[in-house]
Structure formats: C-alpha cells, structure tokens
Amino acid sequence: MEQANPGLSRRRVIIEAILVLYIYYVLATAFIILPPILFSAAGVRLTLRPGTAVTLLGVVFAEALALWMAIAYFRRRQLSMRTCGWLTPTSLRIVFFAVIAAMAYSLYTAQIPQVRANMFEFSLLKLWGVIAGLFGAFVEEVIFRGYLLTRLQKAGMSNVSQIVLSALTFGLLHLGFGWWGVLCTVTLGIGLGTLYVYGNRSLTGPLICHGVINAIIEPWLLLWLLKFYAERFGT
C-alpha cells in the first residue's frame, strides 16, 4: 500500500477534486450543447435519434479532451496510467462483483421506458452508443477512480473518505440527470470506488462494471434524457 505524502494536504486534494469536477463539467456541457447549435445554425433540424447520435459525438470529443488533459497532467506530475491502477491485477472475486453490480444497475435503469423498450435493439445507433459508452467509461474511471482516489490516498484519507468524496464528485458531474439521477450516480460511484480500493487499487473492476453498464443502457439513457428536456422546454 502506498504511503501518505505528508506534503500533500487534504485541503489541496479536495480543491483538486472540485477543479476536476468543474473542468469536466464545463467540457461535457460545452461539447454536448455545441453540436446541436452548429446543426441548427446550418439549417438542419435534428430529430431525436440523429440528435442523440450527434450529442454522443460531442460527448466523445469532451471525453477525449479530458483524457488528453489528464495524461498531460500525469506527465507534469511524473505520474502514469499504471500509478492510477491501469493494468494492475485484481482478483476474480472483484471481477465477479463488478459484473453482478453492472447487471443490477442496468436492470434498475431499465425502469425508464425508453431504455427498456430499446434495450435489445441492434442498430448503428446502438453500436455508436456502445463505442461512445465504453470510451466514456474508460476516461471517467481513469480520472474519477484512478487519479482522484490515488491523490486522496496520498493525502492520508481513509478508504471510506476516499470512496465517498470520489463518488460525490462523480455524482455531481451528472447534474443534468436531475437530483435523483445524481443520487443514483453517487451510489454507482460508491460501488465503483469500492471495487477499486478493495480490488488492489486496480482499474479493472470499475472498468468492467462501468463498461458493461454503458454498453447495455446507451444510447437509450441519453435518448431519454434528450426527450425529457425537449418535452420540458418545448423544443
């Protein structure tokens, strides 16, 4: 187990967590909003499914930029993906729990009509949703589990504190889903953080769990969210 760094204060790490959340949220919001605006400016009115595909493209751009910024930061701090748990071995028990947790969360999400109705559809939109979802899961796990939990550990915070703070940061990233969505995502973040911390601080467990969830529920969760906002604001 890596020892705490006495020169790294908890206050500094909490500020870093807030900055990570802010930067990530700004990137995601900007790249989700920008593509539809550009299409609208070009005189193209997107229906729900093409709009979902375009929004996913914006999400992928945001995630790619966030990953590039993270890698640049790692190099500046003389860190690496391996120090954050990439390719670190974990146990079969953790992998088992990761799959079970993913299936349970996906079944819960299936309560949303649009997700349930389209869950077994095979189409280009579904394929695009899987690709974007897997990439998003990778980037978010590297940042919100690998990086953030490593920094919290170095600051000498307990395992429980690490998991809770990381989960809160991860949940607040999903404010667009409403407060119930934030609560669900915080709960998911606690599960993902637990898989990481008690799985030899390996990204394998949370990556499997997050990846399986996104592969099952996307792009239908995003489609439902866009439909929800379109109906609420009459667009």
Task: Say which DSSP state 176 is in.
Answer: G
Compute mean pLDDT per 10 residues along the chain, 235 residues long, and list them.
60 83 84 79 86 91 91 83 92 98 96 92 96 96 93 91 94 88 96 97 98 97 87 62
| Spatial distance between the Cα atoms of 173 and 61, rounded to a whole number of angstroms | 16
Q: Nearest CA to 198 among 78, 88, 74, 50?
A: 88
Q: What is the structure's pLDDT at 165?
A: 92
In-domain check, residue 56: yes
In-domain check, residue 1: no
Q: What is the structure's pLDDT at 2?
A: 47
Using the structure block, give the residue that is written with the tokens 């974990």.
Answer: 90
In-domain check, residue 184: yes
Q: What range does the domain containing 190 cover?
A: 10-233
In-domain check, residue 100: yes
* C-alpha of 157 from chain center: 23
In-domain check, residue 4: no
Which residues lie below 8 Å from residue 188, measured CB to CB, with a gap of 6+?
A: 105, 167, 170, 213
Looking at the structure of the chain, the number of domains it has is 1
Q: What is the structure's pLDDT at 53?
A: 93
In-domain check, residue 148: yes
